[in-house]
Structure 1
Amino acid sequence: MNTPALTCFQFSITDHVAHLVLSRPEAMNTMGPVFWRELDGVLATLHQGNAARALVISSTGKHFSAGMALDVFGGAIHLDDASPEGRAAVTDLLAGLQATFTRLETLRIPVIVAIQGGCIGGAVDMVTAACIRYATQDAFFCIQEINIGMVADVGTLQRLPKLVPLAVVKELAYTGRRLPAAQARDYGLVNAVFDTPEACLAAAMQCAKEIAAKPPVAIWGTKQVIHYARDHSVDDALRQMGWVQGAIWSNAHVREAVTAMKEKREGRFPPLAELRDF
């Protein structure tokens, strides 16, 4: 799989596990225009290809990410509030940013995030679109947007209420307070907390390795069903479950999985089909 040279990230795939690393610690891994373009491109490539069966996102430096780069609001992206036409354009601009993080949610493979230090503003938007979140004991989450006079607008207020109690979301969103990692774990936002960034990343990579050993199409189906069930009634979700299972059922995959367990080896399963543009 060919990916262009990146300036905001490091990217690699090893043993079917993709690893995307935020790599601008000197700028606290803030999210400027290049960040969005590069992330969108990497996720599109991963989605269309079949080399990776899980994605781990980690970071460098003291903080996971301080969110949107402030220079974005100083001219890198022009937000015109002087006319209804300009304000309408803000809506469409936001739709593009939202779509990039939605790619994490709709990616054909699971996404695991290893978070250290601050996960602030846009970074909360980002990690709430992932499947699994691990954090260091010094990590914290902050809906920073309210502190700079705006509403969080790229996914936090839509996804966080699906993950933690609504009253917690309101407290964080109204006050801009920090949510420490231990509390985030207690609320269910974080799966586990680790002493060091190295231990946190190792756990994320181990989880990804375990996922990569399963039949990719069954993992794909599981992700589809979980997300559909989150947003639909039980009856609708059960019906969708039947459609998905009927579409991807494989006696051969089940036999191979059972045989691999008995023989104490990893199963051998085909990758997802590559996607081709028209």
Structure 2
Amino acid sequence: MNEFFSVERDARGITGLAHLQLCQPARLNTMSLPFFPALRDTLRSLHDEGRTRVLVISSTGKHFSAGMALDTFAGDSPALDTSTSRARLSFQDMLGRLMDCFTALDEARFPVLCAVQGGCIGGALDLAAACDMRYASADAFFCVQEINIGMAADLGVLQRLQRLLPQGLARELAYTGERLGAERALSLGLVNAVLPDAQALLEHTMKVAQQIATRSPLAIAASKLALNHARDHGTAAALAQMKLLQSAVFDTGEMARAISGWQQKEDADFDPLNPVPSL
């Protein structure tokens, strides 16, 4: 537990369903610099334990998150010092580590579902764009806020958003800082569904997550690896990777359990993934 979010394993009594909930509504769930390693370390802990089959990220209050806390940019923070060549070299490493905190969402060996109510602004959109799927309440909106405060967005949204939206629209959002509403986001495929309010949003997202949690965690992890590789490579390279991946994870025992559960119309009993050994 930390001051930024809570984490519940086996949420709602569902094996393998983890729920991470932002819990600073009075601060609009803004992200200060300590938020990022807290998120990264939590994600990697869930990854390494092997028990998590799917993760839902939701929030509290009126807005999902207003992004980076503006006071981060005030004062003389050493992390943001670019006054000399040496400082700029260190800034690059610091920025890379911040990026890595959201890349941990993409690299997790389980799907990550993001439930967005109200504003998903600035750094929050960087976070949402790194998730596998996004769901929204009717009042949700998405905004590349960084351009409105005189900077280019730098935590992954410019790289990921144009894979999730038509490139012209992604550029329009990046250049103007205008809001993209929930219904248009749905029509363009940025979100998978729009629900009437925050409660209905969470219920729907949890229902999808529960369905994922009943599937083979081995097959889910392999599917995510294959999808991510195909997204970032050409078809021939992705097919070549799939041959290696399938030969590594093909498991007839796993398939027998899945088929038996499907035929009997009940959830199969799958083993969790092995923990990642610590060094």
Q: Does TM, normalized by the shorter one, top 0.5? A: yes
Residue number in structure 2 paired with 1:6: 2
| TM-score between the two structures when normalised by the length of structure 2 | 0.96
Q: Aligned AA for 2:219?
A: A
Residue identity over aligned pairs, in percent, reads 45
Separation in 2, partners of 1:23, 1:109: 23
Q: How far apart are 1:97 and its partner, in Å?
A: 0.5
Q: CA offsets per residue over residues 161-208 of structure 1, 9 Å max, x none? A: 111110001100000000001111111110000001111111111111
Residue number in structure 2 paired with 1:257: 258
Q: How far apart are 1:26 and its partner, in Å?
A: 0.3
1:76–1:21 distance in 2 versus 1, CA, 3 Å? farther
Secondary structure of 2:170's counterpart equals: helix
Separation in 2, partners of 1:99, 1:38: 12
Residue number in structure 2 paired with 1:72: 72
Q: Gaps spanning 5+ residues in structure 2: where?
A: none
Residue number in structure 1 paired with 2:166: 165
Secondary structure of 2:220's counterpart equals: helix
Separation in 1, partners of 2:76, 2:127: 20
| TM-score between the two structures when normalised by the length of structure 1 | 0.96
1:185–1:85 distance in 2 versus 1, CA, 3 Å? same
Q: Aligned AA for 1:240?
A: Q
Q: What is the correspondence of 1:46-65 to structure 2 with a 5 Å cutoff?
A: 46-65=46-65
Q: What is the correspondence of 1:124-163 to structure 2 with a 5 Å cutoff?
A: 124-163=125-164
Q: Aligned AA for 1:13?
A: R
Separation in 2, partners of 1:102, 1:76: 27
Separation in 2, partners of 1:145, 1:41: 25
Residue number in structure 2 paired with 1:122: 123
**Mapped contact 1:33–1:76 kept (Cα < 8 A):** no
Q: CA offsets per residue over residues 245-266 of structure 1, 9 Å max, x none? A: 1100011111211111111110
Q: How far apart are 1:33 and its partner, in Å?
A: 2.1
Q: How far apart are 1:87 and its partner, in Å?
A: 1.8
Secondary structure of 1:204's counterpart equals: helix
Separation in 1, partners of 2:120, 2:94: 23
2:176 is the counterpart of 1:175? yes
Secondary structure of 2:34's counterpart equals: helix
**Mapped contact 1:21–1:60 kept (Cα < 8 A):** yes
Aligned length: 274
Separation in 1, partners of 2:219, 2:76: 42
Q: Aligned AA for 1:80?
A: D
Q: Aligned AA for 1:19?
A: H
